[in-house]
Chains A and B, each alone.
Chain A
Amino acid sequence: MTGGLLGGLWTASLLMAASSVLFMTGLVIARLISEAGRARRRARREALVADMMSAMDGEADAARLKSEVREPRLVARALLELSTLIRGRELAAVTAALTQAGAEPALLRLMRSRNGEDQIAACEALGLFPSDKAAAALKTRLKRRTSMRVRIAAARALLQMGETPDLNDLLAAFDIGEVHAPLELSAILDEIARRATEAYLERLKSSRDAPALRAMMVGVLGRLGRYEALPVLLGAASDPEPSVRAAALSALGALGHPDAEPIIAAALDDPVPEVRAEACDAAGRTALAALAPRLAERLDDDEWLVRFRAASALLRLGEAGRETLDAAAGRASPRAMRTAQMVLAEAAA
C-alpha cells in the first residue's frame, strides 16, 4: 500500500515534469518555425504593399498581383492597413486592380477559414469590394452562429459597402443576452439610425430589447440630433430601467427641444441620482429658464453629483440662473450654499 503511494507520487511528479518540459519545448520549436515564417511573410507583405501603391498610379503589375492574391490572408491585412491611409480615387484604383487579380473570390474563401482573425480580416476587407456576391456572403455570415466579433465585422463591412442591414435582422443575429451589448455595436447603430431612422425608432418603441441595448440605442439618438426622435425619447425618459431613463435625458439634453420640459421637470425628482443629474444637465442644455427654482431645490440634493450638475445647469441658464445661484450662495442650506459658492468661484476663475 505504502509502496504504491510512493510510486504514485513519483509517477505523478515525473508525468507532470515531463509533460511540462515537452510542452514548452514544443512551443519554443513552434515559435522558432513561426519566426522564420514571419520574416518571409514580412518580405512578401512589403512586396504586396509596393504593388498596391503602384496600382494607385495605375501602374500595377497584373501578373504579380494575381500571384499575390493567392495569399488572401496577406491581402486582407495589407489592404486594411492601406485603407487607413488612403481614400477615394486612390483606394478605388487599388481595389479595382485587386478585383482584376481575383481578390474577391480569394477573400470569400478566406471568410470560410476556421481562424476567427482571418474571418474578421476577410469580412472587413470585403467591405471594400461592393458587389452583390460579397454582400450576400456577408449577410449569410451575419446570420451564422459564428463569434460576435465576426458578425460585427460583417455588419460593418455591409455598412461600408453602402448596404443597410435590416435592424430587426441585425439585432436578431447578434442575439444579445440579458445584459451585454458589445461596444462596437454602438457605432453600427449610429450608422443605421442615420440611414433608416424610422425603422430604428420603431424598434425602440417596441421596448423588447435588453436594458443595456435599449440604453445604447437611446444614446445613439442623442448623437443623431433629429427632432423626429423626440416622442421616442420622451417615452424612454419614463422607462422602468434607470440606465435607459438616464440615457434618454442625456439625449434630450443633446437635442435641446423645449417640448421636453415637463418630462425633464419630472425627472428632477427621480429616485435614482444619475437620472436626476442627467435631468439637471438636460434642463441647462435646453435653456429651460422656468426650471430655475426646481434646479435650486436640487442644490440641496443628497448626492454631490446632482448638486454640482444643478449648479452648473443654473449657470447655463443665463441671468435668471445666475441670480438663483447667487441667492443660493448667500442664504440657502449649508450644503446648497457650499455648492453654489464653489461653482460660482470656479466659473469666475
Chain B
Amino acid sequence: MAALCGHGAPIALLSPAYNEAVTIVQSVRSLLSLQYPAFEVIVINDGSKDATLDTLIEAFELKPVSRAYDLAVPCNEIRGVYASPRLPRLVVIDKVNGGKADALNAGINISRAPVLCSMDADSLLEPDSLLRAVRPFVEDPERVIAVGGTVRLANGCRVRDGRVVEIGLGRHPLALFQTVEYLRAFLMARLAWSRMGALTIISGAFGLFRREAVVRAGGYTRGTVGEDMELVVKLHRQMRREKRDYRIAYVPEPVCWTEAPESWRVLGRQRSRWHRGSLETFFRHWAMFLNPRYGRVGLIGFLNIFIVDVLGPVIEVLGYILIPVLWLLGILSVEYLLAFLALSFTFGITISVCSLALEEIQLRRYPKARDLALLTLAAIFENFGYRQINNLWRIRGLWQYLRGSESWGVMTRKGFRAG
C-alpha cells in the first residue's frame, strides 16, 4: 500500500509469448521505452516451438539468473529465468507450455511489484498509458484492485519502432466494423458498467491488477479461453465473499493498440473463442447469477451476460430460422416483422452513433473528418450481414462450449503497417 501512495506504484508488465520469434524483439523494445518511473517487463516464453527464447537471449544479451520467487499461484514448471545487467528492467521466464493463463500465473509468481499489467505480446501500448492507468490505484489505494483501459485497433495506423505514430482507419470492411464494435464496447459499455460497479471484464490485451488481490483470488484459471473475464469475475466473487470494500475501475484514456483480423475465418475463430470464454465464466460462476449476495455484479452484471451471451445469439438465430418458416405457414405478419426489424436495426445504429459521438467529442483520436464519415457508414452497414454472421460465430462458440473444446485456434496476424 505504501508503494501505491507515491508518485508511481511499481508495475510488473506481464507479456506472455508463444511462437512470437518474428515480432518479440520489437515488442519488448517498445515496452522497455514506456514512460513510467518504476516498472519491469516480464516476458514469459510459454514453451514456444519456434526460436522466441533464443531470439530474446541473443537480442538482449540475456544470461540465466537466480531469482527468488514463490509459487503463489499454480503454473507449469519454470525452466529458467533470464536477465541482463545491461537492462535491469527486463526479465524473461522460460516455462513449460500451459496456455496464456498459465503463462500469466508464472509471471505473477516471478513479479515483485504491487501492481501487475497483463497484456498480449503483440499489443502496443501508448508511451504514457501506464502513467494514466495507474492513477486510480494511487488515488484510491485502499479500494482499487483492478483497472481496465481502452483497446483500439491499429489496422490502418502507421507503426514505427513499436509505436503508433499516425492514427488511421483500416480500409477493409471487417476492420471498420470491428472499429465501431470496439468503440461501442469500450466507450459505452465498459464505462457504464464500471460506473455501476458491475464491470465483469477487463481486456486481456491491457489491464492492471493489484497483485495481492489476484494472488488471493488464486490467479488466472488455467485451461480457460476467457481467462481475462474469468479473473475479473473471480475478483468480484472473492471481494464480495470477504465483504471487502473494493473498486474495479475503467479509464477510457489509456490506450493499447492491437491488430484486428481482416479475414472472415480468423475473425470467426476469435469470436467463437470469446463467446466460449464468456459462457465458461458464466457457468463456472453460476452461483453468482441473480444472487443478491454478490450485489450489482450478480444481479445486473450476470443478468446481462445471461441475456446477451447465453440467450442472445440463440434467440436471434432462432428468429432468422423461424421467420421464413412462419411466413411459409402464413402465420407471420410481414408488417410487424418489418416494423420490429426497423426498430431493432435503428436502435443498434443509434447506440453505435452515440459511441462515435462520444469518441468525437471527448477523445477525437481519428484525425480526419473522412474517418468519422466512414465509421458512420460502418455503424449503419454492420447491421446488414456482419451482425448476423457474428451471431453464427457465437452459436459455434456455444456448440464448442457444449462439446468441452479448449482449443484457442490459430490467430493469424497480418502485421502492423510500418511507418
Contact = CB atoms under 8 A, between A and B. Distances in A.
Contacts of A27: 356-357, 360-361, 372
Interface of B: 1-7, 65-70, 72, 112, 135, 138-143, 212, 335-336, 339-340, 342-343, 345-347, 349-350, 353, 356-357, 360-361, 368-369, 372-373, 376
A56 to B, nearest CB: 28
Give the residue among A14, A24, A345 with the most B Cβ atoms within 10 A: A24
Nearest to A339: B68
Contacts of B369: 28, 31-32, 35
A216 B66 contact: no
A20 B353 contact: yes
Contact of B138 (A17, A31, A183, A348): A183
Contact of B1 (A183, A222, A246, A251): A246
A35 to B, nearest CB: 6
Chain B contact residues: helix, strand, loop or mixed: helix
A278 B369 CA distance: 53
B7 A187 contact: yes
Contact of A31 (B70, B340, B372): B372
A211 B2 contact: no
Contacts of A21: 376
B356 A24 contact: yes
Give the residue among B68, B212, B343 with the most A Cβ atoms within 10 A: B68
Given A31-B369, A179-B140, A348 B66 contact: yes
A274 B349 contact: no
Contacts of A28: 369, 372-373, 376
B349 A246 contact: no
Contacts of A142: none
Contacts of B112: 308
Contacts of B69: 342
Given A9-B339, A21-B376, A243-B5, 13 more contacts: A9-B340, A9-B342, A9-B343, A20-B349, A179-B142, A179-B143, A183-B138, A186-B7, A211-B142, A308-B70, A342-B67, A342-B69, A346-B67
5 contacts: A21-B376, A212-B5, A241-B142, A243-B1, A243-B5
Contacts, number: 136
Given A28-B376, A182-B139, A308 B349 contact: no
A265 B150 CA distance: 44
Contacts of B340: 9
Contacts of A246: 1-2, 5
Contacts of B376: 21, 24, 28
Contact of A183 (B70, B139, B339, B350): B139
Interface string A143-184: 000000000000000000000000000000000000111110
A23 interface: yes
Contacts of B339: 6, 9-10, 13
Give the residue among A27, A32, A339, A349 with the most B Cβ atoms within 10 A: A27
B277 to A, nearest CB: 29
Interface in A240-277: 241-243, 246-247, 249-251, 273-275
Give the residue among B141, B143, B368 with the most A Cβ atoms within 10 A: B141
A123 interface: no
B295 to A, nearest CB: 18
B368 A249 contact: no
Interface string A13-37: 1101101110110011001100100
B398 to A, nearest CB: 30
A278 B140 contact: no
Contacts of A10: 339, 342
Contacts of B336: 6, 9
Given A31-B369, A31-B372, A23 B353 contact: yes
B195 to A, nearest CB: 15
A345 B2 contact: no
B66 A346 contact: yes
A16 B2 contact: no
Interface in A334-349: 339, 342-343, 345-346, 348-349
